[in-house]
Every structure is written in structure tokens, then in C-alpha cells.
Structure 1
Amino acid sequence: MECISIFDMLKIGVGPSSSHTLGPWRAAERWILELKSTNLFYEVEKINVHIYGSLSLTGKGHATDLAIMLGLSGTDPVTIPIDDINKIVEKVQNTQFLNFGNEIKLPFDAKTNITFHKKFLPFHANGIKFDATLKSGSKKTKTYYSIGGGFVVEEERKNAKRNINTFNKFPFPIQNGLELLTYCKQENKSISKIVLENEQSLRTDLEIDTQIQKIWDTMLECMFIGCHTEGKLPGGLNVQRRAYSLNENLLGKNKSYTSPKNWLETIRNTEVKFRQILQWVSCFALAVNEVNASLGRVVTAPTNGSAGVIPAVLMYYMVIENHEADFESVKKFLLVAGEIGSIFKKGATISAAMGGCQAEIGVSSAMAAGALTELLGGTPEQVLMAAEIAMEHHLGLTCDPIGGLVQIPCIERNSMGAIKAINAAELAMGSDPKNAKVPLDKVVETMWETAKDMSSKYKETSQGGLAVGINMSDC
């Protein structure tokens, strides 16, 4: 049983994948810390890295090898200047030396020191093993698993408890939707207030507000960058960016802004009808995932591949539904979204390598639907009903990225997930939850059963579906 903060579910990082990029990056950082804690870091003279399963099969397209080099170089995905990413990687590739932990210069040739294995390790589809040869000639080996959303664990899941908060720290420990509703009824409080009290047991109000503001600022900046960047995405598929032209066409001559916040206000002052609303929501979602595909900075929500759904729906609320929406609206939205995401992580998975795309876009759509419902004035029961509706209509969604890149069909799926989330919220707002036939916990359970039954070809391995139906050469 895990006690998961919303800040575990909503992490600031670098694209294109939380499990295949951010996870390996964090694993490399963690390995360095462990070597230092055992006084072995300065004894290392050679490094080899082995990647397994889904992490290997789509690793090149997800920049897994680049993330490993960046992590081993001692950089942090939250703070590294985006412009430095290619510089650091190119220096390692050109000199065949790595500045290990930003302290020790070690020989490192990515082509020979990083090995991709098609073999799957038993514990999880995303395995990564670090080998260090010490000056004494002995070797130290450590294996990690990137389990989705930037979470990294060791051999046994129980070890994850050491790295995230234990249950007894929360005044309202929540394992599923039923427990969450029980607390809301007992305390006569909204979901966001229950979740906030849990967060307050870990952090001060200032720390909570500061971190939520950072998350929203990152989301808003990401949408802004995506809507103002032209060209094609890297990777070989020659995918044309679309958010730029959508933003241009929708704003027309209304372009007198200089910052993301001014841009938001400009959109608020733009007349929109139903078709334009659909276009704006798609524009926001596409923008985030185009930035993600370009190794830009995004917020895992709950993953990088599904990072566009939540900011798109929140932006929809702020620029379409409620022009008076402010930080408090953002705070409530992210508190609810984070908690719904944690329920899916505890009861199923948020890893496409384990559950297909239903575990990414499906979960993000459920998170956004529930969060939007609370902002629209929905009851806790309607919030969970909206989350259930959104997931119900993503069940069975496969993960089959062409070329192993987080581009096709991933980017468009964020747009579809955002639209479904808004629709799910409206359906829940117009319904009596007493008449609902499928509770949230049942759809979580069904999603996990579906994931276990799904062929590995459709779990982020690029061995089935569109990934084999469309050739890179055709693009």
C-alpha cells in the first residue's frame, strides 16, 4: 500500500517519456547517490548500462540512451537548461568521455557502454541495470525498474515505500475511490479539501502553494512554447507541428501579448463558438506534446506521453468556462487530479509498458474529468463518476508508437483525451451518481485486468498495431 502525494503524480521533467526518459534519468541519479552513500563513487573507473524489455525496444525513440548519459553526467531534469541537453549529449558522443556525477571524467562510448536487450526481466517491463568496475577490479551492479510517471523502484515493490511517503503520515489514507468518498461524507468536505489536508501533513501551506504554482507555470509555459514554435519534430517521422498554426488561426489579429500570462488573457478576450472551443482544446494539448516530443520541459500528468490532457482541460476552464478563475481554481484542479491519478496507480498502473495507452491517456483523461467536475461545482460522487466515464471509454487502448517515438499516435491522443474529459465532466454534472452502474473502483479493477490480458505487442514495444503497420520509410 502506497501513500502518494500529488507531487509524486505531477512531476516537472524533460520529454519525451516519463517511463523511458525521466525514469532512466532518475535511476542514474539515484545510482550515483547510492555509490556515494557506500563510499564507492570515487572508486569507479568504468561504467556499463544494460536496458531491458520495453525500455530497450522503444528506447532509441524515447531518448532513453540520452537520458542515461544526462543522468550519469549529474544533471537534473527539473533544472537543466533545455539548451544544454544537446550540448552535453554531443560532448559525450564526440569525446567518448563522461563527466560522471559532474565530478569524475570517465571513458564512455554510448554505442558500446549502453546495451539494449530485447529480453524482459521478470519484475517489470522497464528494467535498467548499472554496472560499475572499481579500481580494485571488483564490480558493483544495481538494477532499477522505471514503472511509469517517473517512478523508479528496485527489485521488490515494497522498496518503493522507502522513497515515497508511508501511509501513516496522512490523516486520510486513501487506497481507492470508496475510501475517498467515505472521508468526504464523514468530514462534509470536497475532494480537494481532503487531499489538501493530506498534503498539509507533509508540507507547509507555503510549500504546497509554491510547488503548485511551479507546476502550473511549467504547464502554461509549455503550452505557450508549443503554440509559438514552427517546424517539424525531430526523430525521422517528419511530423509537422500543428499547435503553431492553430494558435495563429484562432487568434487572428489578436496577438498583442509578450508572455504566457498575457497570452492567456488574450485568449479570454477572443470570441469562441463550439468549433473554436474544440480547436483551442486540441491546440493546448498538441502544444504540450509537441514540446514533449522535442525533449522539452513538461509536467508528467501522470506521464510525459499524456502530459497534454490535464493542462489543456485546465486551460479550457480558465479561458472558456470561467474568466475569473485564478490560482485557487488551479490548486483545486491539481489536488483532485493528482488524487485520482494516485488511485489508478495504486489499483492498476500508469505505465504503458504494463497497461498500454489506457494507462496513460486513459488515466490522464480520468484525472482531468474529475478535476474539472469539482471546479464546475460537482459533488464528490459526480467527480468520481466523471473519472469513471472518462476511463470507461479508454479501456483497451493500446500503445503502439510508430518508430518508438512519442509522436504518432501519441500527440493526437492527448487532444482526444482532453475532449473526452470535458465530455465526461458534462455527463457527470447532468447525472445522478445514485443511478451509475459502474463505480470508479470497478473501472480501475477492469483496467488492470484488461492490461494483464493485453498482448505485449501493444504495450509500448512497437511490435504491433500502427508501429508495424506504418514504416518509418513511408514517412
Structure 2
Amino acid sequence: MECISIFDMLKIGIGPSSSHTLGPWRAAERWIKELKEANRFNNVEKIKVDLYGSLSLTGKGHATDLALMLGLSGADPELIPVDSINSIVETIKKTSTIKFNNENPIEFHYETDIVFNKKFLPFHANGIIFTATINGKNQKATFYSIGGGFVVKEERKNSKRNKEIFKTFPYPIKLGTELLAYCKDLNMSVSDVVLENEKSLRTPESIDFELQRIWNTMLECMYIGCHTNGNLPGGLNVKRRAHDILLNLRGDLPYNNPQEWLETIRLTEVKFRQILKWVSCFALSVNEVNASLGRVVTAPTNGSAGVIPAVLMYYMVIENHNADFQDIKKFLLVAGEIGSIFKKGATISAAMGGCQAEIGVSSAMAAGALTELLGGTPEQVLIAAEIAMEHHLGLTCDPIGGLVQIPCIERNAMGALKAINAAELALETNPEHVKVPLDKVIATMWETAKDMNSK
């Protein structure tokens, strides 16, 4: 990967964790691809997976083992029918056979062929070693899930390669100051600059199609979460709350699908206290779906997937009832770019940087994006992102039982509300009076993450 697209930051996948579920799933896909390219796939006699570090310690709670079985089976996390997941996994368990890439049946015992090793590999906290037995000999491949569904191999730590990562866009951006310089020199908004970079990778039609697909997934996810009652899986018996909040807010207007639901909310007269409840409802709904192995959009991770759709819904429901796809497009372009700057300068992996790397980054992404839609300058967009992160610094990652439920779900609601507040503060801020620029807070976040990582 020589550049970070917004579509790298906003990925469609299955919950509950981008680093512990989507990442291992994608790693399995990459391993299969490598075996095929080396003409070894058809000769595989047996497969085994070893998990290390955080993937091992919290893998059961994050469904890492299920994701690996699905990935090894050739299922696509963007397309797999969610209601078929359990049947695929149960078939593997009952038959002790996995249909490798949905092609070759191979004997597979999930209790012993997925091994949870408590020790850490040196390169990253989320290590995976795939072993294929071919002609009686074991061949290994090591991958790392580094957050947000990103997967790398160990050789990526080579410094010479890292220097080449950000050179393919017409306007390469690694720092906030570089983004602002392009905005000034080109007389463009943040979203315009990001769009020009994306057009170097895809056609305008493809960009619009993918952004619409991302938004549709977000909207559907909120709809499902708000209309599903009961407890979350995993053993903690956490009660879903979005459904009950919706019942107290929805009003009497009828609707039959997510888009009609959005339009009925727009017709509702909303007061300040209800705004807080609506935003919280949107955010909670997404992460309740995520905790149930539902389909969400990493933004930038699964654990923080509720912040960006909740803030975008806030804009469409409260700020601008006439908002359309062009507004959605600008919001997602800005959010994706801010997320990529954090990834390049620090991390979006909770295993490496704590929850500040997930909820903090998602709040910064949403704050900056909302600021542009509210008429903020490029400078104010970055100020909003800085404010949002500044008030998440030091936030640790310590989920109860290794599940992305407590306190993760509530933190999405808090991150969304902080993003809205950060945007409002940024709009009232003169850039000349800013003491801490975005790049400084990213550097501080990374230093905090390194201290936090060992503790």
C-alpha cells in the first residue's frame, strides 16, 4: 500500500472488532492469495493458525476464531449474509472440515488448529502465523493486524519502504500542515483536495458509488440497531438500549425502510435534550449491531464505528434538512483524510494506543467533517479535529471480558457528542490564536500511546 485512501479508512466489514475480527479475516484472504500466486494452494494438506498477543488474550471475545474460519472458507466480510455466519461456523465445528477458500475440503479441528498463544511477537501486539502443510512440510506466513482492518507483513517495518508509502497521490499528505498548504495554494476546501487525490485511484463515478454504498451501510446499520431489542451476545447479557431510546423519540409517523425512517426523523421537532438522545441513539445502535457480529463500516475501526454515522445523522436531522449525497460525500472525504493523518502520525489500533486511538480518532474525524459542512475554513476543520482528540488523550482500552461492549458502546455516544461540541468551538476560534496544532496533538497522542502500551 503506497497511499492511504479514504476507502482504506472507511471499510465495510463484520463486527465486533476491526483489528481482531476484520483484520484476521483479511489476513486469511491474503494468505490464500499468496498460496495461489505461488501455485501451492492446491497442494495444501493441512492448515493451522497461531494467534499472539492481544489477538490471543481477547480473541474469543472479539470472535477472532470465527473470523479466521470464515476467512479461510473464502467468505467476503462485505458481502456475506450476516444470518449465514453461525451456520458456516457450526458446520466447520461439527464436520471438523473446512472448505478452504470454498474450494478444497481440508480436515480442520477448530479447538486445536487455532491456537491462542499468550506471548507477544516483537513487531506488533496483534500477530498471526498461518501454517500450511504441503508435501509433509510446514510453510509459515506471519501477518499483523495493525488496526482498522489494516494487515501488514513483518517486512513492512523496513524503514526504506516506509519512506515511500505516501508518494503516489498528486497531493501527498502526511501532516495537517501539508493538507492546509494544499488548501491554500489550490484555493480548495479539504474535501476538494481529498477528492482530487481519490480521483488518481478511481473514476469519479466509482468514488460516488463506493461512498453511497458506505453511507447506505451506515444508515442500514443504524436502522437495524434501533429496531432490534434484547440482549447482546457474549455472556455479559448487556441490554440493548437504542431500541428503547427510539421508542421514546420516534413519534407517530409511519415508515418501512431506513431512508423513510430518516425522513420521518427530519420531520420531528427536536429540542436540545432530545438532540442528545437522538445522537446517542444513533451511535449506540451502530455499536450494538457491531457487538452482534453485524455489518458496520470501520470509521476508523469497528469499535468506534458509531461516531461518524451518528454525527452525520445529526447534521442531516438537525442542521440541514435539505442535506443530500453531496453533503454526505464531503463529510466522508474529510473524515477519511483526517483518519489517515492520524494513522500516519500515530496509530488507530487500541492494542497499540488505547481507546484514544479509536474513539479519539473517530471523534476527531467527525468533528473536522462536520466543521466543513457547517461552513468552517480548512484551518477550522483541523482545529475541530485537534479539539476532539485533545479531550480523549490518555483514554485507555480495557473492555470487560474482552468484549467490545462495556465501555466501548457508550464511548461512541460520548465521542459523537464531543465531536459536535468540538466543531462548534472550532467555528468560534480564530486560527491565529491556536496554541496547539493538530500535528502536535497527534505527536502527543503517539507519545501517550507508547507509554500506555507497556502499562
TM-score (norm 2): 0.98
CA shift at 1:166, angstroms? 5.2
CA distance in 2, matches of 1:161, 1:343: 20
**Cα gap change, 1:9 to 1:162, in 2 (>3 Å):** farther
- Check if 1:123 corresponds to 2:123: yes
Structure 1, residues 79-128: CA drift from partner, whole Å, max 9, x if none?
10101111100101111111111011111111100100110100000000
| Residue 206, structure 1, aligned to residue 205, structure 2 | yes
2:396 to 395, 398, 403: 398
Aligned to 1:473: none
Checking the alignment, whether the CA contact within 8 Å between 1:355 and 1:451 is kept in structure 2 is yes
Report the TM-score, using the length of structure 1 for normalisation: 0.94
Question: 8 Å contact 2:354–2:453 — kept in the other structure?
Answer: no
Quote the offset at 1:76 in angstroms: 0.6
Indicate the residue corresponding to 2:275 in structure 1.
277
Alignment of 1:323-342 (within 5 A): 323-342=321-340
1:232-284 deviations in Å (ceiling 9; x for gaps): 00000000000001111101323x00010000000001111000000000000
SS in 1 for 2:105: strand
How many Å separate the matches in 2 of 1:160 and 1:274? Answer: 50
Partner of 1:292: 290
* Paired amino acid for 1:31: W
Runs (4+) of structure 1 moved beyond 4 Å?
158-163
Match of residue 136 from structure 2: 137
1:470: which partner in 2?
Answer: none
Taking the TM superposition and a 5 Å limit, the aligned residue runs for 1:115-264 are 115-134=115-134, 136-157=135-156, 167-254=166-253, 256-264=254-262
**Partner of residue 460, structure 1:** none
Tell me how far apart the structure 2 counterparts of residues 156 and 234 of structure 1 sit (CA, whole Å).
37
Matched, 1:99 2:99: yes
Aligned counterpart, 1:317: 315
Residue type of the alignment partner of 1:154: K
CA distance in 1, matches of 2:99, 2:215: 33
Alignment partner, residue 421 of structure 2: 423
* C-alpha distance in structure 1 between counterparts of 2:448 and 2:367, whole Å: 21
SS in 2 for 1:99: strand
CA deviations 1:324-345 (Å, max 9, x no partner) are 0000000000000000000000
SS in 1 for 2:147: coil
2:154 partner SS:
coil
Of stretches 193-202 and 152-161 in structure 1, the one that deviates more from structure 2 is 152-161
Deviations 1:349-392 (A, max 9, x none): 00000000000000000000000000000000000000000000
Contact persistence 2:251–2:268 (CA under 8 A): no
Name 2:53's counterpart in structure 1.
Answer: 53
8 Å CA contact 1:2, 1:346 repeated in 2: no
Aligned to 1:432: 430
Query: 1: CA distance between counterparts of 2:281 and 2:155?
Result: 41
Aligned to 1:463: none
What's the CA shift string for 1:19-46, capped at 9, x where partnerless?
0000000000110110011111111111
CA RMSD in angstroms, aligned pairs only = 1.5
* Amino acid in structure 2 at the alignment position of 1:441: D
Letter in 2 for 1:385: I
Alignment gaps of 5+ in structure 2: none
Whether the 8 Å CA contact 2:166–2:174 is kept in 1: the answer is: no
Q: In the aligned structure 1, how far is the partner of 2:161 from the partner of 2:48?
A: 26
For the residue of structure 2 that corresponds to 1:102, the secondary structure is coil
Aligned residue type for 1:41: F
Which amino acid in the other structure matches residue 32 of structure 2?
A: I
Judge conservation of contact 2:14–2:293 (CA < 8 Å) in 1.
yes
Alignment check: 8 A CA contact 2:351 2:453 kept: no
- Deviation (angstroms), 1:433: 1.3
Counterpart CA distance in 2 for 1:224 and 1:346 is 33
**1:23 paired residue number:** 23
